[in-house]
Amino acid sequence: MRTGMITGWSSSWGSGSASIEIDRIPIPADNGPLVRALNGMFPEFITPGHYVNPEVIIGEEVYWDYDDTGLCLGYLEPLATVRE
């Protein structure tokens, strides 16, 4: 497992793809599940009208890792939760 800070976000609702940047490294992920997971961790990530507010997650420290293929995001949890 790895630790890092969320430094960026990009997504394309139409394509279903997203990329979360951790320590300035873009990590691809499936848009829908990632958005719902991020909103579960950081409740104001999804805004009214079903838009996202990346500013809510930028700067947050997370515990994360790639999936089994080593290509996409497979695990993500706020670091504060893991430390408790």
Residue range 44-69, pLDDT digits in tens: 999 998 889 999 999 999 999 999 99
pLDDT of residue 81: 65
Reference 26, options 10, 3, 42, 4; nearest CA is 10
Q: Domain count of the chain? A: 1
- Beta-strand ranges (E) seen in 1-84 are 2-12, 17-22, 25-30, 46-47, 51-52, 61-66, 73-78
Mean predicted lDDT score pLDDT of the chain: 91
What's the maximum distance between 2 C-alpha atoms anywhere in the chain?
A: 37
pLDDT tens-digit profile of 20-36?
999 999 999 999 899 99
34, amino acid identity: L
Task: Give me 72's structure tokens.
Answer: 């996409």
Q: Which residue range forms the structural domain that includes residue 44?
A: 2-83
- Which pTM was predicted? 0.88
